[in-house]
Structures are given as C-alpha cells and as structure tokens.
Amino acid sequence: MAHKIDAEKCVSCGCCKEACPAEAISEGSPYTIDPDKCVDCGACAGTCPNEAISAA
C-alpha cells in the first residue's frame, strides 16, 4: 500500500521527492504520491522534516 502525504503538514520542501527511488512523488502544494508508482519503501517518510508522510 502506498504512503500518503498529509496536506496540512506538507510545506513542499522537496525532501521526499529527492529521496524517492521510484520517482512516485510529484511537485505541488502539497506534493503527491502516485500509488501506482510507490514501492512502499518509506524513504520519503524518513526524510520529511515535518513528519507529513505516513503509511496508508
């Protein structure tokens, strides 16, 4: 199951996008994770300074 970004916590800093090996994260406000591309590795969640990403 893909990770999700909490729109209220996301500040669009880009840390998660840089960390994603599957290129599943798209820029925006907030950033979004494509569930079809997400490999559920958690790399994005580990780099988010605002703890805006969690397992779905």
Pair type for strands 53-55 and 25-26: unpaired
All structural domains of the chain: 3-55 (3.30.70.20)
pTM here is 0.90
- Write down the pLDDT at residue 56: 77
What span, in angstroms and rounded, lies between the C-alpha atoms of 23 and 51?
Answer: 19
Rounded average pLDDT per 10-residue block, the chain, 56 residues: 94 97 97 96 97 93
Return the bridge partners of 54, or none. Answer: 4
- Write down the pLDDT at residue 1: 75
What span, in angstroms and rounded, lies between the C-alpha atoms of 4 and 56?
Answer: 6
The answer to whether 30 touches 7, Cβ cutoff 8 Å, is yes
